[in-house]
A and B are shown apart, each in its own frame.
Chain A
Amino acid sequence: MESNNADHIKIVERLKERFAESIKDAAEPFGMLTVSVERKDIIAIISFLSKEEDLGFAFLTDLCGMHYDTTDQLGVVYHLHNMYSGIRIRIKTLFPKSNPEIDSITSLFEAANWQERETYDFFGIIFKGHPNLKRILNMDEMDYFPLRKEYALEDGTRTDKNDSMFGR
């Protein structure tokens, strides 16, 4: 990674020294340090970032899902924040949609509980080890994961969008 930010370079070096095989890529889109990692080490990497004193990413800002239609990959993005230095880091992990499982980080951050439920609700990503993995925002009877790209955003029960009403 080419960077002018000495803090970012040091964080990436520390990660690469500890997790040589898992760190796939590091970049700074819009100035925010972004690291792509393998999902198998996600707990170890986030635990390392939050518990090592010189790194100090002790705050989980956000956790969310994503779906890349072209490669049919699902992903989880973690945002961590060092409250003392003000440095933020984004951890991305991608995996095939056919095997949508990743370890839950609720053992590290209690705040991840509802965020992982929301990610499950919308993308169907299974967080292994989550204490209560069920839908949180959508109705329980919903039988699909609405933010996956293969599902239409529009609702199938709509009846007043008949083209004949608009002269088409």
Chain B
Amino acid sequence: MGVSPDIQIVTAPEGAGGEGFFATSLDKAVGLARKNSIWPLPFATSCCGIEFMATMASHYDMARFGSERNSFSPRQADLLMVMGTISKKMGPILKQVYLQMAEPRWVIAVGACASSGGIFDTYSVLQGIDKVIPVDVYVPGCPPRPEQILDGLMRIQDLVQNETLRRRESPEYKALMNSYGIE
């Protein structure tokens, strides 16, 4: 095939190939496709959102990882990126956005505030978004550099690639959802 050495494409998963055919498991094929086409929904409330803007822009270019299209509707998003301080009053809104996303969905908490409340140990601030929605990856930093946000996205990619197609129907997953009051 005449692919230029400058253009990198993902390598095929393990499988059996021959003249004109390639066979692998459905899990691996779907994981490969999902991993490289994650549509993120940015939920940016403060300075971590500014770092995210740099992450999306041409210098760091999150699109290199297949996240070309930011989805500003939760209905067409795969990944909820929560960046910034979430006040207790914002908590139910964040949860509603999460509920509006279709399965499979992933959540990344970017920065100290989204992860634990950060420096805002006070009556008005939610002490980490995992009080209201389940979180897959936490990115530390106050705020994290774009490289760290990209690293967090790549950890999400690992999760997406290796997730079995039946995970969302498993009793463990349902128990996790129920612990957040989500049916």
- Do A and B interact with each other, yes or no? yes
B117 with A155: CB separation less than 8 A = yes
Residue contact A155 to B127, C-beta cutoff 8 Å: yes
Asked whether B124 lies within 8 Å of A146 as measured between CB atoms, the reply is yes
Q: Check B22 for interface membership: any CB of A closer than 8 A.
A: no
Mostly helix, strand, loop or mixed at chain B's interface? loop
Contact of A158 among B88, B91, B121 (CB under 8 A): B121
Q: Give the interface size class of chain A.
A: 10 to 19
> Given A138-B89, A139-B88, A139-B89, do A158 and B123 touch, yes or no (CB 8 Å)?
no
Nearest chain A CB to B115 CB, angstrom units = 9
Q: Is the CB of A160 within 8 A of B124?
A: no
When distances are taken between beta carbons in the complex, the residues of chain A under 8 Å from B127 are 155, 157-159
Chain B interface, number of residues (Cβ within 8 angstroms): 13
Q: Is B125 an interface residue (CB 8 A)?
A: yes
- Which residues on the A side are within 8 Å of B91 (C-beta)? 139
Binary CB contact string for chain A from 144 to 168 against chain B (1 if under 8 A, 0 otherwise): 0010000101110111110000000
Q: Given the complex, which residues of A lie within 8 Å of B125, measured CB to CB?
A: 155
Report whether B123 and A157 are in contact in the complex, using a CB–CB cutoff of 8 Å: no
Please report the C-alpha to C-alpha distance between residue A92 and residue B153 in the assembled complex, in whole angstroms.
55
Chain A positions within 8 Å of B117 at CB level: 155, 158, 160
Q: B: which residues have CB within 8 A of A? A: 88-89, 91, 116-117, 121-125, 127-128, 131
- Known contacts A138-B123, A153-B121, A158-B121; 16 additional CB pairs below 8 A are A137-B124, A138-B89, A139-B91, A142-B123, A146-B123, A146-B124, A154-B121, A154-B122, A155-B121, A155-B123, A155-B127, A159-B128, A160-B116, A160-B117, A160-B128, A161-B121
Interchain residue pairs with CB less than 8 A apart (15): A138-B124, A142-B123, A151-B123, A153-B121, A155-B122, A155-B123, A157-B127, A157-B131, A158-B116, A158-B127, A159-B116, A159-B127, A159-B128, A160-B128, A161-B121
Cβ-closest 9 pairs across A and B: A146-B123, A139-B89, A160-B116, A158-B127, A154-B121, A157-B127, A139-B88, A158-B121, A155-B127
